[in-house]
Amino acid sequence: ELQLVESGGGLIQPGGSLRLSCAASGFTVSSNYMSWVRQAPGKGLEWVSVIYRGGSTYYADSVKGRFTISRDNSKNTLYLQMNSLRAEDTAVYYCARSALLDVWGQGTTVTVSS
């Protein structure tokens, strides 16, 4: 079964840092495009970042310079390092597989608040 499981969310103060993890099973992370997508409370889906099979990375303008996407092939896990967090980063963060976004995790909630 293809599965993604996110973890690492929580309550963090503005300016703080958090690292999200996305553990994959049933397929190989490094063989796929892997994305992070977020959804603010009551809002729509917003693409955050993608890592290509070859390792190239791209970011939405709203997080560029603050967030870093990476993967650990030995652990078959995707990461999102989030620095300088702002209130507007509050959202459920999902990881998703491939350019089709055909497999999604259940999401992990990040709340940025003092």
Partner 1 sequence: QSVLTQPPSASGTPGQRVTISCSGSSSNIGSNTVNWYQQLPGTAPKLLIYSDNQRPSGVPDRFSGSKSGTSASLAISGLQSEDEADYYCAAWDDSLNGPVFGGGTKLTVL
Beta-strand (E) ranges in the chain?
3-7, 10-12, 18-25, 34-39, 45-51, 57-59, 67-72, 77-82, 91-97, 103-104, 108-112
For residue 79, which phi and psi values (nearest 5 degrees)? -130, 160
Binding of partner 1 by 44 (CB under 8 A): yes
| Residues of this chain, 46-105, that bind partner 1 according to CB under 8 A | 46-47, 49-50, 56, 58-60, 94, 99-102, 104-105
Stretch that binds partner 1, among 8-16, 22-30, 40-48, 70-78 (CB under 8 A): 40-48
Contact residues for partner 1, defined by CB under 8 A? 35, 37, 44-47, 49-50, 56, 58-60, 94, 99-102, 104-107
